Amino acid sequence: MTRNFFGTDGIRGRTNQMPMTAAMAQRVGQAAGAHFLRGGHRHRVVLGKDTRLSGYMMETALISGFTSVGMDVVMVGPMPTPAVALLARSMRADLGVMISASHNPFEDNGIKLFGPDGYKLSDADEAAIEALLEREPKLVPPAEIGRARRIEDARGRYIHAAKMTFPEHLRLDGLKVVVDCANGAAYQVAPAALWELGADVVAIGVSPNGTNINDGCGSTSPDLLKWTVTSSGADIGIALDGDADRLIVVDEKGEVVDGDQLMALIASAWHRRGALMGGGVVATVMSNLGLERFLEGQGLTLERTQVGDRYVLETMRTRGFNVGGEQSGHIILSDYATTGDGLVAALQVLAELVTSGQPASALLRQFEPLPQLLKNVRFDGGAPLEAASVKSAIASAEARLQGNGRLLIRKSGTEPLIRVMAEGEDEALVHELVDSICDAVKAA
């Protein structure tokens, strides 16, 4: 079945435009609710959101949809995506729903769905929900309409769960940590968890106003974090994105450390302790060749998937890995979470920092990455990758690499962007090839 609404990470788009309208959110609630009405028990959905202005509108519309088909709704307010997945499972809910467009600007929003096991929905479940969206909903009799309630201790539950992933014998006393919450979903829970573990916390991006989420802050805009770390003399900085399922780190010198280096650190540490499962790491085609070589040097493997943390997790589950993620900072540690969790991943990094006694600049440089460049080209429609001129530019670039690098050109699954990436031994050539393909895409 053709996927008309679901992308690589739920449903996402510009608010008040299809598919991110209140009417569509209500239909999604009705369709998803109907799909998960299984068994004779009282059905329940856990509903969270980030801090976008449109979150109120989407939350109300989804509640209307779920309750109209007989589902009770538990609202948890602004909470990280992994917290919603955790609470859905721990509360024995039939469904978890997160209203967020992750790292996108505030004008966008999205709907992420989790099954009763806390995992993102399968392709089959998403296809079934899409089919239901095309039909008139089956509304329940008045006496069977669902109820909605808000729970006040959701933040505390998640903070406790996150802290339980940190080694019990360690503390963060004496460590100065800057945490950038992107004015998003983790603006309360992340600083609180770090403080409770003993860190000297400097919190930025913790003043959401509905429109400043990811605006010059967070994992996709680390300049503010870099400046704060160096100017405050902090030991390390951690940046989350709008829904806190992504992590980027800055060392004490203000240098950015991406997800590849973080996966290398965690996998290596877990391997030494005998805790690493699957014999390696699962990552996407975007991960640097340097990570692959680093793991091979330790007798470990790098299993690559297509872009999207759902595909990383699918491979982890089917092949028995417990560490996986994306260069962009989605890091999945399946011993602790069913989806990417920026705070939990950060706590693993901080544990290694405390244990090693090294400065972050030394600890976090696990390997020397090959020169790699990624650029995005925005487009307004059509199929620029099908243009003969673009195909010719790509073929020419591949020939010039002569097998000493990688080229990856793809359409984003969450935004109207063409992503162009090249990697190789020759940095100047990498830049030249990316620019030539981007110019061809723009012209097309």
Catalytic residues: 102
Nearest residue to 107 (alpha-carbon basis) of 242, 200, 204, 217: 242
Ramachandran assignment for 180, one of left (phi > 0), alpha (psi -120 to 50 degrees), beta (any other): beta
- Specify which residues 40 forms β-bridges with: none
Which regions of 44-195 does DSSP assign to beta strands (E)? 44-49, 72-78, 95-99, 108-114, 148-150, 176-180
- Angle (deg, nearest 10), helices 388-401 and 427-443: 170
Q: Is there a cis peptide before residue 19, judged by omega within 30 degrees of 0?
A: yes
Structure tokens at 72: 């009770």
SS3 content of the chain, % helix, strand, coil (to 5): 40, 20, 40
φ/ψ of residue 105, rounded to 5:
-65, 170
Q: How far apart are CA 12 and CA 419, in angstroms?
A: 18
User: What is the DSSP code string of 431-442?
Assistant: HHHHHHHHHHHH
Q: d(Cα 56, Cα 390) in Å, to the nearest integer?
A: 42
Distance (Å, whole) CA 175 – CA 96: 35
Residues 357, 333, 322, 110: is their CA dihedral positive or negative?
negative
- Which DSSP string corresponds to 36-75? T--SSSPPEEEEEE-S-TTHHHHHHHHHHHHHHTT-EEEE
Nearest to residue 28, comparing CAs of 166, 127, 145, 132? 132
CB 337 within 8 A of CB 266: no
C-alpha–C-alpha distance, residues 5 and 23, integer Å: 14
How would you classify the pairing of strands 200-204 and 176-180?
parallel
